[in-house]
Amino acid sequence: MSSWFTKRAPQGGASVVSRKGYSISREAASEQQQEELSSRRSSSGDAKSPLSPPRSPRVDISNSSSSASTHGSVLPRFHQQVVGSSVRKGGRGKRLVLGLLRWLLLACAGCVTALAVLLLFRGAQSGLQAWMAREGGAGSKQVFDVSNKQLLSFSVCNSMAEQRLAIVSGTILAFELGRVVMLPDLLVDGAEGPDRGRTMPFAQMYDADHFISALAEKGMEVVDPHRAFPKELFTPSYIPEVADPVEELALKHRTTKHLHVECPLHRLPRVYYTGANSRIMWAVLDALQPSKDLAQHVKVMLKELNRQTHHSAYSFLHLPINADWLKACSATVNSTAKNNCRGNVESIDLVLLNFNVPVTEPLYVSADWAKVSPEAAEMAMKKLQVYKVYTSKDFKPQLSGEVEVNALVEYHVAMSAHMFLGNALHPFSAVSIVHRRHRNQWASYYNGGHMPLVDLMPLDQLAWVFTSSSETPHLDYLVRAMVRSALQHRTLRPFCIFSGPTSSPIAQWLAAQGVTLITHTFSWADDLWAMAEPLAAQNERVSPIFGSKAALVDDYMRLELPLIEVLNQHVYVLFTESDVFFHKRIMLSMFSRPDLPELVGMTPDSDVSQGVDGSFMIANLLAMRDSYSELKAFVLSSKDGGLFASQGVGAAGALHAFAQGPSKRAMLSQHFAAKPFQDIDPIAFVVHFKGPKPHNYMDFFRTDRCEPEAYGNACEEGLTRSLCPYIQKWHMLLDDSEDEVGLNLWYACLALYAPHLRGLSRHRLAQH
């Protein structure tokens, strides 16, 4: 009987089985074996000697024992005996067992060979690592073949925090240039120390192996130590001060093998830290973990701090009050922020309580205590006496004398804290704040103003709050356009105070866009409506917010901003109404001190003398939190039903009237609230559809009526002034399959401005 892996051979002829399973002649089998062996050697580097005998072909033994004896000369003697014996005895089971044993022996031999090769490779790799360590200091366990690649080395500068940012910039620069990153040496005493030129290898401060592995996951090759590559191999250069320095470097050094640049800190345009590069930026900051020795020191400090409380939590305060830093800060920051270097230091205890920093938790206070005067240190401790205060002096072993090494240890203590509070102008505080916020950890600063770091690198976003409701689906298109316009500029972090079920379509859409939905109940809604209801019908002629309790509460919701826990860590927030869209990028630095208000800042309203437009508001949450009770009482004592007509409308008018004096309220530029019924603003940052909304303008096209009555002639003014230029950009923010208003209004504008259609009525234009 023929077996499943052979074809029956012709009677009386010698037959063997080919690799494809078909019977072929003995002579042809021998030639085929030689060709296959030659092919295997040429393709896989077979190490067998050319004099080695070819492997024995498999013989068709399915006929009888005579077949085996007749053609036995083809087989080695041992195989002849095995085959003959098994055939004579007719032991099919024995043949199977012997075959399995044969393949098992071959498999074991292969495993032994593979193990030997692996051990040999490991030994060679260990030897190479040892050589690299001898040549260049502490080396990484990862070895890259960079013989055919271009390398980029760079230096770092200034303090520990700024050196971290320099590593971020250098890594992104290498990625853009298509080069392998060479890890730098690090400064020991930063920019302020007397030995600023003294350095240490990267691996003595950070875990080089972890850094290399983490960046490899992002597609970046990093080598360390760099001393394995002599400095003579690198061509020195600088980052040019041009609009696109990366492109300039790429063109100039296209054929340069290895390139070295000076400290790249703050030398790349903001755009190089956005998009896909933002993932590299955060990967670098996350990968900069302390070396083994420093990590042990961090562990000891964390154990002691967590031991002091039953829920293992502590707060961290960075308080730079040494005279040399304050002097350097005042000399380097711009004039508007000069007085903010030590802002709120004298009232630091009140600021901590305002931020709800728990007095039941240990408070670690970080400062350069060796340079802090005894008087300043005593003042700080007196202000913080309500807390259980720890400093670096309370831990053993003491931190080393190297300033930046100590800063690195405290940085990682800060990253593990429950709450962090620092100085917005100090690099240590600024980097800690943005890094913690990226990890969704609580972090803020006590001295107000804004963080200049964010102007240079997009590491943080201004908190932006708006309201929305599931009960107004006809206005959802405005919300979608507004959110899309904000997200395309990447400078705002969106929060929505949402009214209604989160399963509604607009809530689901907002969540999909990365908007944080806030469910908040207005705490005195009944009292507010009781005050407003007697005059609501009369006030509705001025503004539709008085048409219902829900609409009025939605307008006054901005007064509750300081009570919303998720916003607690933000000093300033931007609040907008839902009928605006962002024409340009908005950043907090646009309102830097002294222009930032102590309470609120809004734009003037041309329709109300001395009044404000509440569609765009910068709010100081610290000040609003302090004055919340007084503001509530002020609103409920209104004599005109909450209208505040002489100051604005509704909540905006109430805030403007309450914040009397230029120090508490600020009048922002009208560029932050351009309106369609006014002359076009060529540099508008925000456009506000005050009064008529886009669907109202479409109704006006069709019916010649601008409703409701409170809008007056705003529809006609919009069509004759700036509505259509604004709609040209606004309608592109809408999905035509979901929102037809934008496209229809744009078509109407095209018809309105087409010369051959100008004689038609608005009703006919709407049909076009």
What whole-number percentage of the chain has pLDDT above 90? 59
**Phi, psi for residue 394 in degrees, rounded to 5:** -90, 5
What whole-number percentage of the chain has pLDDT above 70? 74
Q: Give the pLDDT confidence score for residue 44 in this predicted structure.
A: 37
The amino acid that residue 654 corresponds to is A
- The secondary structure of 477-510 as a DSSP string is HHHHHHHHHHHTTT-EEEEEEEES-TTSHHHHHH
Coil, strand, or helix at residue 601?
A: strand
Q: For 534-571, how does the pLDDT look when each residue is reduced to its tens digit (9 = 90+)?
A: 999 999 988 889 999 999 999 999 999 999 999 999 99
Angle ∠(215,270,325) on CA atoms, nearest 5: 90
> Per-residue pLDDT averaged across 675-679, rounded?
95
Q: For 57-86, how does the pLDDT look when each residue is reduced to its tens digit (9 = 90+)?
A: 333 333 333 333 333 333 333 333 333 433
Angle ∠(192,412,355) on CA atoms, nearest 5: 95
| Reported confidence tier of residue 448, pLDDT bands at 50, 70, 90 | confident
Query: Higher pLDDT residue, 376 or 91?
Result: 376
| pLDDT at position 20 over 50 | no
Spatial separation of the C-alpha atoms in residues 536 and 544, rounded to whole Å: 10
| Under 8 Å between Cβ of 200 and 185 | yes
Per-residue tokens: 753: 């401005």
Q: Give the pLDDT confidence score for residue 89 in this predicted structure.
A: 41
Q: Note whether residue 114 is domain-resident.
A: yes
CATH number at residue 630: 3.90.550.10
Continuous segment of H or E residues that includes residue 657 = helix 650-658
The amino acid that residue 635 corresponds to is V
| Beta bridge mates, 439 | none
| Beta bridge mates, 237 | 261
Spatial separation of the C-alpha atoms in residues 343 and 336, rounded to whole Å: 13
Query: Higher pLDDT residue, 285 or 310?
Result: 285
Q: Note whether residue 455 is domain-resident.
A: no
| pLDDT at position 476 over 90 | yes
Q: Give the pLDDT confidence score for residue 72 in this predicted structure.
A: 37
Q: Give the pLDDT confidence score for residue 120 in this predicted structure.
A: 63
Is the domain of 129 the same as that of 273?
no
Is the domain of 638 the same as that of 489?
yes
Cα-Cα-Cα-Cα dihedral sign, residues 44, 46, 50, 54: negative
Is the domain of 572 the same as that of 526?
yes
Q: Give the pLDDT confidence score for residue 228 in this predicted structure.
A: 61
Spatial separation of the C-alpha atoms in residues 129 and 136, rounded to whole Å: 10
Per-residue tokens: 474: 């006809």
Coil, strand, or helix at residue 23?
A: strand
| Reported confidence tier of residue 708, pLDDT bands at 50, 70, 90 | confident
Q: Note whether residue 689 is domain-resident.
A: no
Q: Note whether residue 410 is domain-resident.
A: yes
Spatial separation of the C-alpha atoms in residues 123 and 52, rounded to whole Å: 31
Is the domain of 356 the same as that of 409?
yes
Spatial separation of the C-alpha atoms in residues 199 and 39, rounded to whole Å: 57
Is the domain of 73 the same as that of 102?
no
Is the domain of 274 the same as that of 329?
no
| Beta bridge mates, 581 | 687
Is the domain of 268 the same as that of 372?
no
Angle ∠(354,359,365) on CA atoms, nearest 5: 85
Within its chain, how far is the Cα of 350 from the centroid? 32
Spatial separation of the C-alpha atoms in residues 482 and 586, rounded to whole Å: 13
Q: For 212-251, how does the pLDDT look when each residue is reduced to its tens digit (9 = 90+)?
A: 999 999 889 999 765 567 888 899 999 999 999 999 999 9
Continuous segment of H or E residues that includes residue 724 = helix 723-730
| pLDDT at position 10 over 70 | no
Is the domain of 496 the same as that of 623?
yes
Per-residue tokens: 211: 């850094």
Least confident of 115-124, 338-347, 515-524: 115-124
Nearest to 550 by CA among 609, 470, 619, 477: 470
Continuous segment of H or E residues that includes residue 39 = helix 26-44
Domain end, chosen from 245, 266, 287, is at 287
> Per-residue pLDDT averaged across 333-338, rounded?
54
The amino acid that residue 592 corresponds to is S
Is the bond preceding 594 in cis, omega lying within 30 degrees of 0?
Answer: yes
Q: Give the pLDDT confidence score for residue 605 in this predicted structure.
A: 87
| Under 8 Å between Cβ of 650 and 556 | yes
CATH number at residue 187: 3.40.50
Least confident of 461-470, 595-604, 675-684: 595-604
Q: Note whether residue 589 is domain-resident.
A: yes
Q: Give the pLDDT confidence score for residue 78 in this predicted structure.
A: 32
CA gyration radius for the chain?
38
Q: Note whether residue 45 is domain-resident.
A: yes
Question: Strand runs (DSSP E) across 625-695, as ranges?
Answer: 665-667, 686-688
- Give the range with max mean pLDDT: 185-199, 264-278, 751-765: 264-278
* Placement of tokens 């098994």 in the chain: 86
In this structure, how many other beta carbons lie within 10 angstroms of the beta carbon of residue 740?
A: 14
Is the domain of 640 the same as that of 666?
yes
Owning domain of residue 344? 300-440
Spatial separation of the C-alpha atoms in residues 749 and 757, rounded to whole Å: 11
Q: For 192-215, how does the pLDDT look when each residue is reduced to its tens digit (9 = 90+)?
A: 444 456 889 999 999 999 999 999
| Reported confidence tier of residue 95, pLDDT bands at 50, 70, 90 | low
Domain end, chosen from 74, 89, 104, is at 89
| pLDDT at position 144 over 80 | no
Is the domain of 274 the same as that of 226?
yes
| Alpha carbon distance, N-terminus to C-terminus of the chain | 87
Coil, strand, or helix at residue 329?
A: helix
Is the domain of 436 the same as that of 538?
no
Q: Note whether residue 295 is domain-resident.
A: no
Q: Give the pLDDT confidence score for residue 449 in this predicted structure.
A: 86
Is the domain of 665 the same as that of 538?
yes
Q: Give the pLDDT confidence score for residue 142 in this predicted structure.
A: 47
Q: Give the pLDDT confidence score for residue 683 in this predicted structure.
A: 94
**Phi, psi for residue 501 in degrees, rounded to 5:** -70, 140
Q: Note whether residue 145 is domain-resident.
A: no
Within its chain, how far is the Cα of 629 from the centroid? 37
Q: How many domains does the chain have?
A: 6
CA–CA distances in Å: residue 257 to residues 139, 151, 178, 235, 246: 23, 7, 12, 8, 17
